Homo-oligomer: A and B are copies of this chain.
Amino acid sequence: LIKAYILSTGNELLLGTTIDSNSVYLSKKLRELGIKVIGKITVGDTRENLESAFRLAISSAEVVICTGGLGPTFDDLTKEVVCGLMKCKMQINQEIVDNLKAYFISRNRPMPDNNLSQAMFPPEATILPNRFGTAPGMYLPVQQDKKIILLPGPPCEMRNMYVEEVEPRLKEDFNLQQNKSNTRIIKVFGPGESQVDQILAGITKEVDKSNIALLAHDGEVHIRITAEDDQENSSEVLEPIVEAVKVKLKDKIYGYDNDNLVSVVVQLLKERGQCLASAESCTGGLLSKLITDMPGSSEIFWGSVVSYSNQAKMKLLGVSPETLENYGAVSRETAREMAIGIRKVSGADYGLSITGIAGPDGGTKTKPVGLVYIALAADNTCIVKELRSRGNRKSIRIISTKSVLDLLRRQLLAGGISS
């Protein structure tokens, strides 16, 4: 397995205002070749920090790719630093000088002297032409089959040079082939990360740990399974693990790869020719927004009432004033009447409802922030669930929304509800 380290240089990348999209691009492209990116470093344009970053990268990986710092100005140091560390001597390359002169003549501008630094290269390096700028790149083989690759910082120059000049060389030098996708993602809603970890303990012990990773986000746990070897047998490696995970997690798994809870529920409803309407209080339209993010959702979505006031609950959903008076807007009883109410007014197969306290204000001792009731009404039946979420307003709203979608998903799959 070939390992790579990515370096990004530039003071602007350390200010918290610029995203380093180059390293994201390179990670993806290297992974396609089956090269494992083991680390990324971003440093500013000082010699000392550049040197320590290159030292770490070169000692850890076979492929070191650095973007930025190839320009003509005083703070463009990467080539100098690499040649210093590797004890290579730079010489002026006349062909590059001629190219630079031609570039400036074609733009009717005089060439500043400091551009000559861009024509200095060690003789053992392959110089990589830059079709979109003045800074050539460098592909430098060093001891023990390692390669140090320097690319310009501007993304369009970098990407073009990577695809045209670097990728073919890496393929040849390391005898690599472009991978088909060698990752599967299994998506779970409900149990927490540590619970999933425990359920999968037997599997994670058996397989190489670096092949399975858990990622928790917004109430979901994603299990990412990667085949590290060449792609020839990647499905042979992946599928048994996927099957083993399926056996353990059963219906806690809601989908795979590009699925999300909405796309899964929409698909299930389409298959059944059924439709849905919703009534939302604390989520304020988020459920409806997520459903309608999907093109074509009108086929299964009647619409929604965002009953942010008690008045709206009574007027549009038929929640009774007594229920609101006796149990409050955040209660099992109100959630039930909201779900039944929207189902009735819409004539949809399913009515979903959400009512709760998203915070930061409005919580009490008996009804704290994070207390949410969700309900699903179908023909002759209505299921109500109580949720107690931690987190802030945003995460409470997201988790509540996903919970009601998952409630419907499970019922559709269980076939326990018909309409």
Contacts and interface: CB of A to CB of B under 8 A. Distances in A.
A74 B28 contact: no
B303 A307 contact: yes
A308 B292 contact: yes
A75 B112 contact: no
A392 B194 CA distance: 39
Contact of A156 (B13, B43, B392): B392
A269 to B, nearest CB: 14
A284 B183 CA distance: 33
Given A210-B11, A285-B285, A395 B309 contact: no
A297 to B, nearest CB: 8
A28 B19 CA distance: 12
Contact of A293 (B39, B209, B284): B284
A56 interface: yes
B315 A345 contact: yes
Nearest to A40: B42
Interface in A2-41: 10-17, 19, 24-31, 37-41
Given A301-B308, A360-B295, A395-B132, A197 B49 contact: no
What are the 9 tightest A-B residue pairs by CB atom distance, in nearest-first order?
A284-B292, A16-B28, A285-B288, A16-B27, A285-B285, A303-B312, A304-B306, A285-B289, A303-B308
24 contacts: A11-B210, A15-B28, A16-B25, A16-B29, A38-B46, A52-B60, A53-B56, A75-B214, A132-B390, A132-B392, A154-B216, A154-B217, A160-B392, A285-B285, A285-B288, A288-B289, A288-B308, A293-B394, A295-B360, A303-B307, A303-B316, A304-B306, A315-B345, A316-B345
